[in-house]
Amino acid sequence: MMVDLADLERNLGVRFDHPDRLRAALVHRSYVAEHPDAVHNERMEFLGDAVLQLVVTVYLFGYHPELSEGEMAKVRAGLVNGIELAEVAREVELGDHLVLGRGEQASRGREKESILADAMEAVIAAIYLDQGLDGARRFIVERWADRLEARVAAPGKRDYKTRLQEASAQDGKRPRYRVTEVGPDHDKIFTAVVDIEGEIVGEGTGRSKKEAEQSAAARALERWLT
């Protein structure tokens, strides 16, 4: 089992001293079912979750002394979850590098939120094991800081994407986003479309992918909840 890691390392912004640690983080249980000598990444997921929780907690404790224990807990819970982990996984194109069994590959496992989220935790563990806590902290802060600050600005509020996710989940449905961009690098405009089970329910624009998705989710909520 050999995986070319150069692109993934570039996307992560981390050059591993021991690439096998990153390679180990990419192995899903479905692959091990077909290759008994392989080792899946679930122990690394456990470690990565703990590292992510610690870094986020220390960040909030150090940079936001105005937050109470309860407010810090709300912010952390809103950021350390499968939805956010899967989003970061998509940003670094993690799905393209996962080692899956044939069944999961056939069922589009590379796009499944739960598989992406779990693998992202395992990758955080790999960074921690290879680069130490400082390296893991740098990666997490780079990828989560904007999300954290947005939550801190209104810790009692849920963003539009989360609210749409929760509203649609009541009917057993899940929103999906498609984002396009136009314009030069210094002046890009992003357009997001959100659909639920193939039906477009919202569209929005913004100066970033996240802003466009939030705008689309807001429009979708207006429709979904009326």
Q: What is the pLDDT of residue 211?
A: 81
Residue 121 falls in the annotated catalytic set: yes
CA 127 vs CA 21, 24, 57, 62, 146: distances in Å: 8, 11, 18, 22, 20
Task: Report the alpha-carbon distance of residue 211 to residue 88 in Å, rounded.
Answer: 15
Domain boundaries, the chain: 6-153, 160-224
pLDDT tens column, 137-152: 999 999 998 888 877 8
Taking the CA atoms of residue 177, residue 180, residue 185 and residue 189 in that order, the dihedral angle to the nearest 10 degrees is -90
Q: At 123, which amino acid appears? A: V
- Give me 192's structure tokens: 């997001």
Residue 118 falls in the annotated catalytic set: no
Percent of the chain scoring above 90 in pLDDT: 51
> According to DSSP H, which parts of the chain are helical?
6-12, 19-25, 29-34, 42-63, 69-79, 82-91, 102-106, 113-153, 160-169, 209-224
**Catalytic-labelled residue, pool 49, 87, 104, 159:** 49
- Give me 40's structure tokens: 């899946």
Q: Per-residue DSSP letters for 83-121?
A: HHHHHHHHHTTGGGG-B--HHHHHTTGGG-HHHHHHHHH
Comparing 4 with 11, which gets the higher pLDDT? 11
pLDDT tens column, 125-135: 999 999 999 99
CATH topology of domain 160-224: Double Stranded RNA Binding Domain (3.30.160)
Q: What is the pLDDT of residue 1?
A: 53
Task: Report the alpha-carbon distance of residue 82 to residue 66 in Å, rounded.
Answer: 27
If one looks up domain 6-153 in CATH, what number appears?
1.10.1520.10
Q: Considering the chain, what is the average pLDDT of its residues?
A: 88
Mean local confidence (pLDDT), 151-165: 70
Q: What is the pLDDT of residue 2?
A: 56
pLDDT tens column, 97-106: 999 999 888 8
Mean local confidence (pLDDT), 90-114: 90
User: Nearest Cα to 217, choosing from 171, 172, 166?
Assistant: 166
Q: What is the pLDDT of residue 222?
A: 74
Q: In this structure, are residues 9 and 130 in contact, taking their beta carbons and an 8 Å threshold?
A: no
User: Nearest Cα to 218, choosing from 199, 204, 200, 197?
Assistant: 204
Neighbours of 212 (CB within 10 A): 24
**Catalytic-labelled residue, pool 84, 118, 121, 213:** 121
The reply to whether 6-153 and 160-224 are identical in fold is no
DSSP state of 156: T
